[in-house]
Amino acid sequence: MSVIETRDLRKTYGRVEALKGVSIRVEKGQIYGLLGQNGAGKTTLIKVLLGIVRKTDGEAELLGRPAGAPDARRRVGYLPEDHQFPGYHTGYSLMDFYGALYGVPVDERRRKIPETLELVGIAGRMNSKIRTYSKGMKQRLGIAQALLHDPDLIILDEPTDGVDPLGRREIRELMQRLKERGHSIFLNSHLLGEVELICDRVAILQQGVLVREGTIADLTQQKGRYEIGVAPGQAFPADAVIKLGYSAIPVPDKPELFEVSLTEGQTIDPVIKLVYDKGMQLRHLVERKQTLEDAFLATVEGAEPGVDTRPRRPRAARQVGGRDRK
């Protein structure tokens, strides 16, 4: 069963088209990552799923129910981006408040709140006012409140935002553990390295359009690309290599290196042989392993920056003024 499914989902805010027909499907038990630049529409997708904003067109289902249905929301934990918890709460009382909104019984809250806060590592400060928390602690609290009611699906919008590297690793481990316990996780991020480490599947959103989707392996699949360099003073025989049926292009910024790509069935050996035959010395040979970042950059290369650059109110004004974009 899929926990999230959208078909040709569209959302426009006034004149801004934030989602232009997005279809994704997230299976139960997965950690699914949604990638994209700022303004790509990732947060909008989540908000549509949770009924925070209304979709303009298309279909969106959450846990088999239409997006926004209260009974589906009950089984979802959500960490919003840029969240601001009321400062008058303590970590404990906030969890208690949210737990009650989810209908978690009193005894269970009493038992689970310290447990959950322990899990995210802020149990020691749970009786201090939130306004005394650091950004990282607030983020951990945010994750904790999304876990308290033992949801089937956990939706995290930029979960590692504002957390130090060590904390990030802890959060990644936490997600892994949650997955093992059978929770499905859907996360938004622009931190590709991170996503690569934990996600089973990813989708890349670009200006409201889904441009790639698949497992990490699918996206980072090797096509066989090598960086080759010969000894200084010698010129790499690019033309001869091309004649052999390879592509050879200079690596940008490193004029002494060439990138040689193989096609189906080819190996790099004939190229090495050619170099030796020409009496040159091979000094550099590296197989270029594609990271998710490469894959991502390859996808978005040449594309305009995110929709985010369209003229609108400066971002800071939204946060400080406490008012929304409209």
Partner 1 sequence: MMQFYAILKDSFREAIDGFVIYLMIGLSLLLVVILGSISYTPDAATDALPKALGREFRLIFPARGASSAPTGMPVEYHATEIEDISNGAKFVLKVGPLKQEADLKDGKPEPQKRVEEKKDEPDMFRSAVYAWREPAGEKIKNPFAKMGAQGKGGGRTKNELEIVTPAIGGPADLRAITDDEMAAFLKYQFTTFVGVDVVKITRRPGIAEPEYKFDVEITGISGARGWPHSVYVLFGAVPPFKGVPLGQALYFIQDVIVNGIGAAVTLMISVVITAFFIPNLLRKGSVDLLISKPISRVGLLVYKYIGGLTFIFILSSISIGGVWLVMAARSGSWSPGFLLVIPVLTFTFAILYSVSTLVAVFTRSAIASILVTLGFMLCLYIFGQVKSFFDLNKIAAVTELPEWSYTLVDSLNTILPRYKDLDKLTTKIVVDNTMTEGQARLTGIFTEYPSWGGAVGVSLAFIAVMLALSCWRFIRRDN
Residues lying near ligand ADP in the complex (CB under 6 A): 13-14, 16, 18, 36, 38-44, 307-308, 312, 324-326
Nearer Cβ to partner 1 (146/199): 146
Q: What are phi and psi of 320, to 5 degrees?
A: -70, -45
Element (H, E) at 193: helix 192-198
Sign of CA dihedral 197, 203, 204, 205: negative
Residue among 30, 37, 43, 90 that touches Mg ion (CB under 5 A): 43
Q: Which residue has the tokens 């971002």?
A: 315
Q: What are phi and psi of 184, to 5 degrees?
A: -95, 145
From the CB of 42, what's the least distance to partner 1, in Å?
A: 14
Q: Which stretch binds partner 1 (CB under 8 A): 96-104, 161-169, 186-194, 254-262?
A: 96-104
From the CB of 174, what's the least distance to partner 1, in Å?
A: 19
58 contacts partner 1 (rule: CB under 8 A): no
44 contacts Mg ion (rule: CB under 5 A): no
Site residues (CB under 5 A) for Mg ion, limited to 67-96: 81
Residue among 32, 78, 186, 226 that touches partner 1 (CB under 8 A): 78
Which partner in ligand ADP, Mg ion, partner 1, none is near 318 (CB below 5 to 8 A by kind)? Answer: partner 1
64 contacts partner 1 (rule: CB under 8 A): no
End-to-end, the C-alpha distance of the chain in Å comes to 37
From the CB of 77, what's the least distance to partner 1, in Å?
A: 9
71 contacts partner 1 (rule: CB under 8 A): yes
Strand order through the sheet with 254-261: 247-251, 254-261, 225-230, 282-287
The per-type count for the chain, helices as H runs and strands as E runs, is: 12, 14
From the CB of 81, what's the least distance to partner 1, in Å?
A: 8
Q: What's the CA gap between 223 and 295, in Å, rounded?
A: 12
Residue among 20, 73, 125, 140 that touches partner 1 (CB under 8 A): 73
Is 78 exposed, middle or buried (CB count within 10 Å of its CB: 0-12, 13-18, 19+)?
buried
**What one-letter code names the amino acid at 118?**
E
Residue among 10, 25, 28, 83 that touches partner 1 (CB under 8 A): 83
Q: For residues 96 and 113, is the Cβ–Cβ distance under 8 A?
A: yes
Q: What is the per-residue binding string for partner 1 in 15-54, x denoting contact by CB under 8 A?
A: --------------------------------x--xxxxx
Contacts of 193 (CB under 8 A, 6+ apart): 291, 292, 293
Nearer Cβ to Mg ion (65/310): 310
Q: What is the per-residue binding string for partner 1 in 100-129, x denoting contact by CB under 8 A?
A: xxxx--------------------------
The Cβ-side half-sphere exposure at 202, using a 13 Å CA radius, reads 28
Could you give the 3-state DSSP secondary structure of residue 239?
Answer: helix
List contacts with partner 1 (CB under 8 A): 13, 47, 50-54, 70-71, 73-74, 76, 78, 80, 82-89, 93, 96-98, 100-103, 318-319, 322-324, 326
List contacts with Mg ion (CB under 5 A): 43, 81
